Amino acid sequence: MPRFLTPDEVSLIHRLLPETTELSERLLKDLALAQVEDVEVVGFGGVVFLSSTTQVFGSDIATAMLADADGVPVRVTLCLDNHDQLFELELCKVDFSPIIGVDLRRLSASTDTC
């Protein structure tokens, strides 16, 4: 079911993207209106961004690490589509076990912009 991003998701995306590029500025500006759907697959979570155009995966734009409630690392990846629009915010446990509960406010310092 479509929904808007939560405040924690918006904050996480702001921390993932540097505000120093034109692309990042454009993506961050549009977050308040972004509609998403939850992705729930064993070991994976996150949201897919909805668009009026056909979306195809383009590239990863940023990655970071969080920890799940059980301490297992969770890789966070922000992806763009083939039109440089937000495509997906993906969370994946490194051991592919089910995600229990990730605190999106606890992003590690090792954030990489791709």
Query: What is the pLDDT at residue 30?
Result: 82
Q: What is the reported pLDDT for 4?
A: 96
CA distance 99 to 44: 7
Provide the pLDDT for residue 55: 84
Domain boundaries, the chain: 3-113
Helix (H) or strand (E) holding 30: none
pLDDT at residue 91, as a whole number: 92
H-only helix segments in the chain:
7-16, 22-29
Distance in angstroms (rounded) separating the CA atoms of residues 89 and 102? 13
For residues 19 and 51, give the distance between their C-alpha atoms in angstroms, rounded to a whole number.
23
Among the listed residues 91, 78, 103, 82, the one whose alpha carbon sits nearest the alpha carbon of residue 24: 78
pLDDT tens over the chain, length 114 residues: 899 999 989 999 999 987 778 888 888 988 888 999 998 776 678 999 998 888 899 999 999 999 999 999 999 999 999 999 999 999 999 998 888 888 887 765 445 554
For residue 74, the tally of other CB atoms under 10 A from its CB is: 24
What is the pLDDT, as a whole number, of residue 43? 62
Q: How confident is the model at residue 112, as a pLDDT?
A: 55
**For residues 74 and 102, what is the distance between their CA atoms, to the nearest angstrom?**
8
The whole-number pLDDT of residue 109 equals 46
